[in-house]
Amino acid sequence: MPSGDDNGALRNLKLNESTFLASLMPKNEIAADRFVEAHPHYDGRGVVIAIFDSGVDPAAAGLKETPEGKPKILDVIDCTGSGDIDTSTIVKADDNGCILGTSGNPLVVNPSWKNPSGEWHVGSKLVYELFTSTLKGRLKKERKKRWDEKNQEAIAEAVKQLDEFEMRHTKVEDINLKKEREDLQSRVDLLRKQADSYDDKGPIIDAVVWHDGEVWRAALDTQNLEDNLGCGKLADFVPLTNYRIERKYGLFSKLDACTCVLNVYSNGNILSIVTDSSPHGTHVAGITSAYHPKEPLLNGVAPGAQLISCKIGDSRLGSMETGTGLVRALIAAVEHKCDLINMSYGEATMLPDYGRFVDLVNEVVNKHRLIFISSAGNNGPALSTVGAPGGTTSSIIGVGAYVSPAMAAGAHNLVEPPPEGLEYTWSSRGPTADGDLGVSISAAGGAVAPVPTWTLQRRMFMNGTSMSSPCACGGVALLLSAMKAEGIPVSPYSVREALENTCIPVGSSPEDKLSAGQGLMQVDKAYDYIQKSRDIPSVRYQLKINQSGKTTPTSRGIYLREADSCHRSTEWTVKVEPKFHDDASNLDQLVPFEECIKLHSTADAVVRAPEYLLLTHNGRDFNIIVDPTSLSDGLHYFEVYGLDCKSPWRGPLFRIPVTITKPQSVKSSPPVVVFQMSFVPGHIERKFVEVPIGATWVEVTMKTSGFKTARRFYIDSVQMSPLQRPIKWESVATFSSPSSKSFSFVVEGGRTMELAIAQFWSSGVGSHDTTNVDFEIAFHGISINKGEIILDGSEAPVRIDADALLSLENLVPTAVLNKVRIPYRPVDAKLSTLSEERDKLPSGKQTLALILTYKLKFEEGAEIKPHIPLLNNRIYDNKFESQFYIISDSNKRVYAMGDVYPDSAKLPKGEFTVQLYLRHENVQYLEKMKQLVIFIEKKLEEKDAVRLPFYAQPDGPVTGNSSFTSSVLIPGTKEAFYVGPPSKDKLPKGASAGSVLVGAISYGKVSFGVNNEEKNPEKNPVSYSISYIVPPVQVDEDKSKGSSSGSTKSVEEQLEEEVRDAKIRVLSNLKRNTDEELSDWKELSISLKSEYPKYTPLLAKILEALMSQNNAEDKIGHYDEIIAAANEVIESIDTDQLAKYFSLKSDPDDEDAEKMKKKMDTTRDQLTEALYQKGLALAEIESLKGEKVADTEDAKAATDSSVQQDLFEENFKEVQKWVDVKSSRYGTLYVIRERRKGRLGTALKVLVDMIQEDGQPPKKKFYDLKLSLLEQIGWTHLVQYEKQWMNVLFPPSLPLF
């Protein structure tokens, strides 16, 4: 194996079993194996690492204990809240120890469980909400297979019954036999249809929480997950308490093999079920510190370290981190007195070293002395691709990903590894937007490490800076283990200095620091450094750099990227401020601090600085001059660094990175640049070009030659613009043989573009062919006088000026409005203080939460996306702590959840609620948000998208003439045209006044490929936003005229009617909650009936009131009252006259006739409602009395005189005269009738049709009826399936945030 000094370089590498196994968990690269071999007790023991990730499985291989026999994992926490269950519902057990779960399932508690209070907190959760998509996919496949088997058995039995019927009845003419056959056929059809519509939403699990007199405990009922009856019962679950107390975990079932941890919060009112949201976190934890006593070569870097698992990857969002998760993780890390944090998460950012999370990290590092290590990102190979927080935050050590020849041969299984170690092609590069180096150090970026048990394997290979970060973290844990054992004070400042000043370089040029940081960390050398510097004060040197004469922006390095700054000399003011930890003593540490520093420049001809600096606690300014005028085009990296004159062996105390990307200018006309390059595996070519002013897109052609085996290339383009994330385009191109590929992408004129082309590090390793690449870049551009176009809702068009500054361009404008954006303000705002258990900040401040409620209504189904302009698209570069939204219907069914990156969700027709959850410690911030406007963006179907017209004249929208389609732009000549508003008849439904239609407009045309941009401007490499503000609707002239005819009734008659209607309204508004109130209501209803006998609207109101009573003790008596009230309504109506009226057609233009029609429609509705409610009441009485209705065979044999009069059947026939009894409104009666006659298949078929017709939100009573029919038929697999779906459609409560 190589020594640490040769950067892992190997020639003619041959692995044996030991070296192969060692390569799977790389430790040699950072000298960790040699360090532990020399210091076996400095293996990480005494060190606690917080793993900020997707969650760690405590049952995973190597994560159970340390070499000392101590527990490996000290706590397992879901910081996101994605596994939280509301267990605030309290129940008592009956004499049999039975309680009712919130799922509706009866649960039996174990009699041996101690519960002095007798109070059981219950809650439930759909178990798929706790599982990863991979695990769900496996379970769905296995469950579907078993369900299909049961359904096929049911189909076979149903077909058998149908065949037997047809054998018995070869000729079916009798109406009852026809209906019986129809029933049997319906059963077969239903089962087959169910197989086609099967959609497994997963079983529900019940949770029970109680206090045993000492601690809170919890147990789960997972019977719905099990196939074997009797398995998964609540009473058989071994109760768990919070993991940190007993360090025990559970398993849902053998089928899923998924570990769970249960933590109880808020005095038993919240149960957190902790599962991982991906294998990533367990893998990361294994790299830091897995311990395999029988397989020591596969140990993690620091097997003696202990862990805290802080899940920041929210299961509701796949595995995306949330602000809530990040902040709670920091709280937990401080609370558990962790020494280290590893976070292998991150993303691009607009503002480096900025935001709420960064502020809290600074506090944790500077005050509590935690060392924070994080991945730099996987977005290379272009510069300025480091992610937040790892690559952009000063107080975090950002780690790049390195691959050695041994790793390539072993972990990557390459036939021929590269001759020497290098950074992975995709590892993110610095500098940051403000000039900081970005990457601090590098470590091995791939490993075979433990994964959760649900993956059904012990270990898995992964690579990324997600792996290099824990490798470095494990190496630091070794150092801390040594420092603690030797009594050396631990400080993130001194450890970082030791790491960065003892790295071995990766690559030979200064510019390689932008890829690998200071180089590949070396544990043994860092240990020697720490020992030697143990008495030196722990100080970090904060740099604040401004261009002379400017106070903003302040940066942490010097980054000359644009052409103007690369062609002149500039002067910079640098302030160096020594920063001590918050607990530093003024007299003992701050006052005595004084260092004489010698400043060095790595290139005096380009970067000049003073020679010396006397630095005290209050800091010191000095100027440096950067003169890039003599530099060639391309990338150049320099440093100004300061050495301690008394202890130069310490190496640089601080470094000022100076990055210069001097672009070449484009002088040809038309503007085309051609590069000819040669590549070997891992080689990166960086070309910097000053994009000509007027260019808006480029067309690139890449031609490859000179190779026989396939080649894979990463192609990145990056431009930087103030207060924006880097403008990046990327592509991975694979060439199976020499050929050409073309690309096009947007650019910003006048700014430097980096084009990074890299042959992937392992592509073509064994072939020894050099790949030749011809790269042609053609700049195109159409300059427009308006970036974003807003049509104000009037008929006036908007003028657009277009010109081409570079070459002839085809002007082909296209504009489409394909979304409706509707603004909403909250209807409710609730501010609350969160619990201290999880939400009290390290500073002692309490986190507050604001829940905003918005109401939505859609007249038809739509695909929507919520937008919160103030907060969206920023996690780390945001001073607000957290945001989360839930979209639900009136049944509390959740349709969508999201946070900073909202996803589209398909919603059916109906009313919905959006709840937006915001968190911060500052109540004033939250108060300002109480009227926060959000937008609901509804995507239009392609047929409804609005294409905007273009005109050559301003009157075009009115005259319809002078349309503009296309033109050829000549450089130096400006052309103008108009984009018109949409015609009012083209506006989509639901576009109310004040809403905004949004879309895109494009102007140019790409010269190669299929030009889909003609149909969709968003497909064009360059498109701009266009919007149309929907104006007020047109006034309906007919409605504004008013009624021409007056009333024919006398004033006295009108007064009597008004008094009567007022009395009825009083009756309707009377409360009936108490016996006294109910008595008053009855008294008034009797009085009014005597005063207005046979007045149908009054009688209908009385019936309606009786129907709304659902707490009557005497059920039969209550239904008798309903029947009597319904009969009164029926008897008050002249049905013959009503039938005669509806047999005639009325004149729709006759106003009096229309009034009469409205009155008769109301009367018919009152009649049918009375008949319908009477039928339901008759059926309920029959059910309560337990009467057995004679079936069809008995009825046929009996005489009319011997069978009791069937009131239900008579009433049903009366209903049939007036309405469609199979409709969703009245179909329940039809279902009941078919059920009474034993035709369960027909009843179920009608009910299924009713449910589909009924729309949204679904009615629970229909599903309850469906469930009872399935149970009666005996289709147990469908009963189970429907119960699961009912928990989706009708959850007991909304999920917690």
**Run of H or E including 1161:** helix 1151-1185
Q: Residue 152 — very low, low, confident or very high, per pLDDT cuts 50/70/90?
A: very high
* Range scoring the smallest mean pLDDT among 18-22, 338-342, 444-448, 652-656: 18-22
Q: What distance in Å separates the CA atoms of residue 119 and residue 115, rounded to the nearest whole number?
A: 7
1189 pLDDT above the threshold of 80: no
Q: Residue 375 — very low, low, confident or very high, per pLDDT cuts 50/70/90?
A: very high
Tokens linked to 14: 């041959």
Q: What distance in Å separates the CA atoms of residue 1162 and residue 1154, rounded to the nearest whole number?
A: 12
3-state secondary structure 1173-1240: HHHHHHHHHHHHHCCCCCCHHHHHHCCCCCCCCCHHHHHHHHHHCCCCCCCCCCHHHHHHHHHHCCCH
CA 287, 290, 296 angle in degrees (round to 5)? 105
Which one is catalytic: 394, 427, 466, 1085?
466
Per-residue pLDDT tens for 153-184?
A: 999 999 999 999 888 887 878 888 899 999 99
Q: What distance in Å separates the CA atoms of residue 330 and residue 52, rounded to the nearest whole number?
A: 9
Q: Which residues of 851-886 are buried (b: 16+ CB within 10 A; e: fewer)?
A: bbebebebeeebebbbbbeebbebbbbbebbbbbbb
Identify the sign of the CA torsion 628, 631, 633, 639.
Answer: negative
Can you tell me which residue has the tokens 């990166």? Answer: 684
CA-based nearest residue to 582, from 726, 426, 395: 395
CA 1034, 1040, 1041 angle in degrees (round to 5)? 140
Amino acid making up residue 318: G
Amino acid making up residue 811: L
- Give the model's pLDDT for residue 12: 59
- Give the model's pLDDT for residue 1045: 47
3-state secondary structure 356-412: HHHHHHHHHHHHHCCEEEEECCCCCCCCCCCCECCCCCCCEEEEEEEECHHHHHHCC
1203 pLDDT above the threshold of 80: no
Tokens linked to 928: 């300002």
Q: What is the pTM of this model?
A: 0.91
318-338: average pLDDT: 96
Per-residue pLDDT tens for 557-614?
A: 999 999 999 999 999 999 999 999 988 888 889 999 999 999 999 999 999 999 999 9
- Give the model's pLDDT for residue 816: 95
Q: Give how far Cα 596 sits from Cα of 490, 616, 648, 1133, Å.
A: 25, 9, 11, 106
CA 142, 1244, 195 angle in degrees (round to 5)? 25
Q: What distance in Å separates the CA atoms of residue 302 and residue 43, rounded to the nearest whole number?
A: 5
- Give the model's pLDDT for residue 851: 97
- Give the model's pLDDT for residue 428: 97
- Give the model's pLDDT for residue 1013: 47
- Give the model's pLDDT for residue 1231: 92
Q: Residue 1197 — very low, low, confident or very high, per pLDDT cuts 50/70/90?
A: very low
Q: Residue 327 — very low, low, confident or very high, per pLDDT cuts 50/70/90?
A: very high
Per-residue pLDDT tens for 188-230?
A: 999 999 989 999 999 999 999 999 999 999 999 999 887 777 7
* Range scoring the smallest mean pLDDT among 617-631, 770-784, 957-971: 957-971
Identify the sign of the CA torsion 222, 226, 229, 231.
Answer: negative
Packing angle between helix 1260-1273 and helix 1276-1289, nearest 10 degrees? 170
Any alpha helices (H) in 857-937, and if so which ranges? 923-928
- Give the model's pLDDT for residue 639: 97
3-state secondary structure 1120-1132: HHHHHHHHHHHHC
Q: What distance in Å separates the CA atoms of residue 877 and residue 974, rounded to the nearest whole number?
A: 40
Residues 6+ apart with CB under 8 A from 1093: none
Q: Residue 1047 — very low, low, confident or very high, per pLDDT cuts 50/70/90?
A: low
φ/ψ (deg, to 5) at 927 = -60, -40
Per-residue pLDDT tens for 694-748?
A: 999 999 999 999 999 999 999 999 999 998 899 999 999 999 999 999 999 999 9
- How high is the mean pLDDT of the chain? 91
Per-residue pLDDT tens for 1205-1254?
A: 688 888 988 888 898 888 888 989 999 998 998 999 999 999 999 898 87
- Give the model's pLDDT for residue 1194: 40
- Give the model's pLDDT for residue 7: 47
Peptide bond before 1257: cis, by omega within 30 degrees of 0? yes
1010 pLDDT above the threshold of 50: no
- Give the model's pLDDT for residue 362: 96
1192 pLDDT above the threshold of 60: no
Q: What distance in Å separates the CA atoms of residue 672 and residue 1156, rounded to the nearest whole number?
A: 79
Please confirm, yes or no, whether 509 is among the known catalytic residues.
no
Contact 1131, 1099 (CB under 8 A): no
**Run of H or E including 423:** strand 422-423
Q: What is the DSSP string of 1111-1160?
A: --S-HHHHHHHHHHHHHHHHHTS-HHHHHHHHTS---TT-HHHHHHHHHH
Amino acid making up residue 1082: K
Which one is catalytic: 33, 43, 53, 339?
53
Q: Residue 1089 — very low, low, confident or very high, per pLDDT cuts 50/70/90?
A: confident
Please confirm, yes or no, whether 565 is among the known catalytic residues.
no
- Give the model's pLDDT for residue 1036: 57
1159 pLDDT above the threshold of 70: yes
15-25: average pLDDT: 91
Q: What distance in Å separates the CA atoms of residue 1102 and residue 1085, rounded to the nearest whole number?
A: 7
* Range scoring the smallest mean pLDDT among 595-604, 637-646, 988-997: 988-997
Q: What distance in Å separates the CA atoms of residue 507 and residue 439, rounded to the nearest whole number?
A: 14
φ/ψ (deg, to 5) at 726 = -50, 135
DSSP state letter for 684: E
- β-pairing, 1024-1029 with 789-791? parallel
Question: What is the three-class DSSP state of 253?
Answer: coil
Q: What distance in Å separates the CA atoms of residue 1126 and residue 1177, rounded to the nearest whole number?
A: 10
CB atoms within 10 A of CB 407: 28
* Range scoring the smallest mean pLDDT among 4-8, 226-230, 531-535, 1193-1197: 1193-1197
Which one is catalytic: 121, 280, 283, 920?
280
- Give the model's pLDDT for residue 1187: 57
129-140: average pLDDT: 95
Beta strands in 617-768 (DSSP E): 620-626, 634-644, 654-662, 672-679, 684-690, 697-705, 711-719, 727-735, 740-746, 752-759
Dihedral-angle region of residue 232 (phi above 0 means left; psi in -120 to 50 means alpha; beta otherwise): left
682 pLDDT above the threshold of 50: yes
- Give the model's pLDDT for residue 1044: 44
1108 pLDDT above the threshold of 70: yes
396-404: average pLDDT: 97
807-816: average pLDDT: 93
Query: Length of the chain, please?
Result: 1297
Peptide bond before 431: cis, by omega within 30 degrees of 0? yes
Per-residue pLDDT tens for 105-115?
A: 999 999 999 99
Tokens linked to 272: 């957190």
Percentage of residues of the chain with pLDDT beyond 90: 73
- Give the model's pLDDT for residue 1015: 74
- Give the model's pLDDT for residue 3: 34
1052-1073: average pLDDT: 87
- Give the model's pLDDT for residue 187: 94
Per-residue pLDDT tens for 830-873?
A: 999 999 999 999 999 999 999 999 999 998 888 999 999 999 99
417 pLDDT above the threshold of 80: yes
238 pLDDT above the threshold of 90: yes
1190 pLDDT above the threshold of 60: no
CA-based nearest residue to 284, from 335, 202, 332, 345: 345
1014 pLDDT above the threshold of 70: no
Please confirm, yes or no, whether 769 is among the known catalytic residues.
no
Contact 758, 791 (CB under 8 A): no
Q: Residue 1046 — very low, low, confident or very high, per pLDDT cuts 50/70/90?
A: low
